Chains A and B, each alone.
Chain A
Amino acid sequence: AQTVTQSQPEMSVQEAETVTLSCTYDTSESDYYLFWYKQPPSRQMILVIRQEAYKQQNATENRFSVNFQKAAKSFSLKISDSQLGDAAMYFCAYRKGGSEKLVFGKGTKLTVNP
């Protein structure tokens, strides 16, 4: 079974600084997708960024980018120029190709200090 591990239960960053959240996963599949979801205090799950395993280029979305290391099965999220609104729980998730089922990590709570 696929597993997703987020080794940092909590992280903090100063406003305007850069922070990296870690995620590793375990799979024997070659076709899969990886996601980072943000969950603010409102509890709404918001997609931050997605990465297709077949793409070598790392995905970017404005201040958010990933470092996808396929051989190491690592998928970290970098947040640049951190803003107070970035404070939230961040979940890494995996989905096998051809399946809609998401497997989530346990999350990292990010605090942004002014």
Chain B
Amino acid sequence: NAGVTQTPKFQVLKTGQSMTLQCAQDMNHEYMSWYRQDPGMGLRLIHYSVGAGITDQGEVPNGYNVSRSTTEDFPLRLLSAAPSQTSVYFCASSYSGLYQETQYFGPGTRLLVL
């Protein structure tokens, strides 16, 4: 298993540009989520999904869109990038339900918005 993969590893954008951060997992996990990590802060939840076709907002959803068309993929879209979105983005996944399984994190995508 590759686990949770994220692409790209690093990206530079200009203000107003759009892009999609990719996240994929091959563990058949129902639950997937996106976090952002800023200096001096812990990870904060952006959006999450409990299964294909189901998404919901986390703590800091503004400026981001998500969709979940397959179990494996959970892309994060920035429609019009802003400097405030400069951050490190982590995708995570886990089995969902009663057993409170451990969440597995991807390696992160570092995004710089100029």
Interface residues of A (CB under 8 A from B): 4, 33, 42-45, 47, 50, 52, 91, 93, 95, 97, 100-107
Are A4 and B107 in contact, with the CB atoms below 8 A? Answer: no
Give 4 new A-B contacts, CB below 8 A, not counting A100-B103, A102-B92, A103-B45: A43-B88, A43-B108, A100-B33, A102-B103
**Which of the residues A44, A45, A100 comes within 8 Å of B94, measured between beta carbons?**
A100
Question: Binary interface profile of B, 88-103, with partner A (CB < 8 Å = 1, else 0)?
Answer: 1010101010001011
Q: Is the CB of B48 within 8 A of A100?
A: yes
B42 (CB) vs chain A CBs: closest residue: A104
User: Within the complex, what minimum Cβ distance (angstroms) separates B93 from chain A?
Assistant: 10
Tally of contact residues, B, Cβ under 8 A = 24
| 26 A-B pairs in the complex with CB atoms less than 8 angstroms apart | A33-B100, A43-B88, A43-B108, A44-B107, A44-B108, A45-B90, A45-B92, A45-B105, A47-B102, A47-B103, A91-B43, A93-B42, A95-B100, A97-B100, A100-B31, A100-B48, A101-B33, A101-B48, A101-B58, A102-B35, A102-B45, A103-B45, A106-B40, A106-B41, A106-B42, A107-B42
Within the assembled complex, what's the spacing in Å between the Cα atoms of A97 and B90?
22
Question: How far is B44's CA from A106's CA once the two chains are assembled, in angstroms?
Answer: 10
List of 5 A-B pairs having minimum Cβ-Cβ separation, nearest first:
A104-B42, A45-B105, A100-B31, A104-B43, A43-B108
B50 part of interface (Cβ distance < 8 Å): yes
Interface 0/1 of B20-44, CB less than 8 Å to A: 0000000000010101000011111
What is the minimal beta-carbon distance from B40 to any residue of chain A, in angstroms?
6
CB distance from B30 to the nearest CB of A (A): 9
Residues of B contacting A104 with CB < 8 Å? 35, 42-44
Question: What is the distance, in angstroms, from A100's C-beta to the closest C-beta of chain B?
Answer: 5
Contact status A44-B44, CB under 8 Å: no
Question: What residues on A are CB-neighbors of B103 within 8 Å?
Answer: 47, 100, 102
Contact A91 B42, CB 8 Å, known A45-B90, A100-B31, A101-B33: yes
